[in-house]
Amino acid sequence: MSAPLHPPIPFGASSDAKTEAYERVALSIDALLEDENDWVAAMSTVVCELHHAFGYFHWTGFYRTIAPELLAVGPYQGGHGCLRIPFAKGVCGAAARTRETQLVPDVEAFPGHIACSSSTRSEIVVPLVADDRVLAVLDVDSDDPAAFDETDRRHLEALCQKLAARYG
């Protein structure tokens, strides 16, 4: 079997290597979603593209707002995810409540973190806001410590802004 064209970006990769991968993934998502208006199809495609591009993404998925102050799990890749998360709980809830990205280098230091998997060490959660409501949050968990940095934040926020504008 031949080596994959773009092997997953490993934990601890340089900012340049990460940026290059995010740019490649963004182009791929743009092309795949060009004619796709269905939000579930879009979310599924996005998590698949992200999850396989980065070796330190161990759980990659969306939680959607399904009722006031309540998130339910959406398309994801990785192990079993918690089904429902109130805005009052966890890192996902904090992102939905504050409408700000939560970059958590050490989940054990985050009060109220919901441990869906005991192997998770760090996490980033980015809200998708459209028409002044939280459509969903994108949650990425890593088994590596402090796996996410400002490069991840910048690119994931740009992606989520684009998705919220189109599907919100």
Minimum CB distance to ligand SME, residue 98 (Å): 13
Handedness of CA 1, 78, 138, 144 (dihedral sign): negative
Which pair of tokens denotes residue 109?
A: 């230091």
**Which range, of 7-15, 24-32, 83-91, 152-160, touches ligand SME by CB under 6 A?**
83-91
Check residue 71 for interaction with ligand SME (CB under 6 A): no
CB 81 within 8 A of CB 73: yes
Buried/exposed code over 123-145 (b: 16+ C-beta within 10 A; e: otherwise): bbbbbbbeeeebbbbbbbbbbbe
Check residue 85 for interaction with ligand SME (CB under 6 A): yes
Alpha-carbon span 86 to 92, nearest angstrom: 9
Cβ count near 25 (within 10 Å): 20
Nearer to ligand SME, 139 or 152 (CB): 139
The residue count for the chain: 168
Minimum CB distance to ligand SME, residue 132 (Å): 22
Q: Give residue for tokens 């980033």.
A: 124
Check residue 91 for interaction with ligand SME (CB under 6 A): yes
Residue of 113, 124, 128, 134 interacting with ligand SME (CB under 6 A): 113
Return the residues of window 48-67 that contact ligand SME according to CB under 6 A: 59
Nearer to ligand SME, 33 or 101 (CB): 101
Check residue 90 for interaction with ligand SME (CB under 6 A): yes
- Footprint on this chain of ligand SME (rule: CB under 6 A): 59, 81-82, 85, 90-92, 113-114, 116, 120, 123, 139, 141
